[in-house]
Structure 1
């Protein structure tokens, strides 16, 4: 059996294969409300029918002011639970596990009113200048992540991923490029990690299933974070009970990024072996043979696909053909995959 289609158990959840749909913003909620719409009811279950082992919902805001856009999904109130639970129910019959990415956009929020960040520095001239968070703001946001995790549990999700990448709030605290604080949340690596540490602890207080963290392992800018610097933080995550680091990169500050198929895989490999923990590889992985090579050579444990699953919801079926792997196919589709 190709390793791509081998089951993997993390904590108390078994994934039927190593294929993950990475979180991708859909911008399809109705203006301001954060609720699930028919778009989500079609989009996510389609990838479950298509054979994906784990489907992680888009960045879902833990606070209304923490949305990337006014049309993001939300989990900041109990009223959101019903729609999210419906998505879990629709995906489950096809063997897909469900995940949700809990997020706060920080200085990259584009909603009305004040936005918040570790320091009062705009992302670029097109974004608003954020308000520097007070200690009370930080405590309130940590609690928002905890409440969101409780709601994710009520909705029935199998995995929570914390979005600490791509220049959003948790990522902003981690990097010295965006965190210029002089209190307990700024300066040293330990202090810059403190906010994420508190969020992880708060989530783990109420969550017993797998916990992933997505990071931007490279800022591609002098003075920014590198994969080697993230090793230390990955060790701390592991000590706190994080089960897997989803290794992406970039988007903290405007920067030129050299992209090519698998360009982030070496970062996942560095974290995996340096911190001795599970990682996910993501970034222009489109070819099944490439995905298989990453797993066979122990460079990562899960393959995260993003745009490729937008183009082809049935990529797992195609991959099974190319890798000569026998997989279960829903009865109505079997005639197309004999």
Structure 2
């Protein structure tokens, strides 16, 4: 058996993550009661990845308040009922030896959408069907959606408080890692990018001003969760558009966020505007994670069409990112991590005991 960098533990504050194969947050749009309370589907969905050997399992973009949800069927973390339902899921993840993380989000002008598998997805759901008035840094609509209300200072303060309160509940639910969603065209990203933020006050204009909301949230969340829990930030490192948010600005703000208590930066791209051309291909976002890592001297995780064990290992071994986050490939194969261990000839001791007979048979067959 060999040792692979992909299967080396990584310690973030007081949490040691057993390997570098992590599960990206993936929205399930499955709170049928529209109350933000996770249910048996979420238990199964997230538990399977932990049983499948992933190091870190991150729960989907979870609204810090009702109007912060992408859709009315999204999960939430603004009340104790939601917290307690999440606690059951966290226990299962921990029982399988994985690290439990949650992404906290506010969808801004892209909120009040129909869920992904509804043919009306990409348009604002009306009040009569459970929708709501959205908010944003400026009264600029995302194509297909209603014009949002520009947040005033009191509204901005409430957003900061809601992130902190949701983070506190997340820790109470047992989550090890909290991630702040500052990507994909949602509220924080909307403040960061000059394409969606045309404010003239202290939250608009300069990079320092556009980053102010994120940095306030990072500081408030760090205070809420204490020093033991890891804090991630997900960035879209570029809008893929001239005059928009880009990797250089991301690197500067990542360093600022690090100084305020963030630990790891989860690097994705896009989502702010439509109609852009994205050079999609294997690991197409890895160079951006590499840039942020080196320019800001921060740990990063890479996402985007990472589908094979060999390539995932190459990303980590090369030092371009400290971990890989898989989404679609995990849906295709929830046991990706266990399969990767076999393919890379790595022994891991966290096969579920109910499956170990299969593990042994695989070894016997492979050795013949």
Q: Give yes or no for TM over 0.5.
A: yes
Superposition pairs for residues 204-283 of structure 1, below 5 Å? 204-207=222-225, 208=227, 209-254=229-274, 255-283=276-304
2:119 matched to which residue of 1?
none
Structure 1 position 159, deviation (Å): 0.2
Report the alpha carbon displacement of residue 230 of structure 1 after superposing the two structures with TM. Answer: 1.2
Bigger Rg, structure 1 or 2: 2
Aligned-residue CA RMSD (Å): 0.8
Q: Distance in 1 between matches of 2:93 and 2:317?
A: 28
| Corresponding residue number in structure 2 for 1:30 | 32
Q: TM-score, normalised by structure 2?
A: 0.90
How far apart are 1:31 and its partner, in Å?
A: 3.4
Task: Summarize deviations over 1:301-322 as a string: whole Å, max 9, x none.
Answer: 0110000000000001110111
Counterparts of residues 1-338 of structure 1 (less than 5 Å): 1-110=3-112, 112-124=131-143, 126-207=144-225, 208=227, 209-254=229-274, 255-328=276-349, 329-338=351-360
CA–CA distance in structure 2, aligned partners of residues 93 and 67 of structure 1: 29
Corresponding residue SS for 1:337: helix
Contact 1:216 1:249 in 2 (8 A): yes
What is the number of residues matched between the two proteins? 337
Q: Deviations over 1:23-81 (max 9, x none)?
A: 01000112320011110111111111100110000000001011100100000112211
Output the CA distance in 2 between the equivalents of 1:230 and 1:82: 35
**Which range is displaced more, 220-229 or 143-152?**
220-229
Give the match's secondary structure for 2:224.
coil
Separation (CA, whole Å) in 1 of partners of 2:95 and 2:78: 27
Q: Which runs of 5+ in 2 are unaligned?
A: 113-124, 126-130, 361-368
- Following TM superposition, by how much is the alpha carbon of 1:108 offset from its aligned partner in structure 2, in angstroms? 0.2
Distance 1:56 1:107 in 2: 24
Query: What TM-score, normalized by structure 1, do the two folds share?
Result: 0.98
1:271-295 deviations in whole A, cap 9, x for unaligned? Answer: 0011111000000001111011111
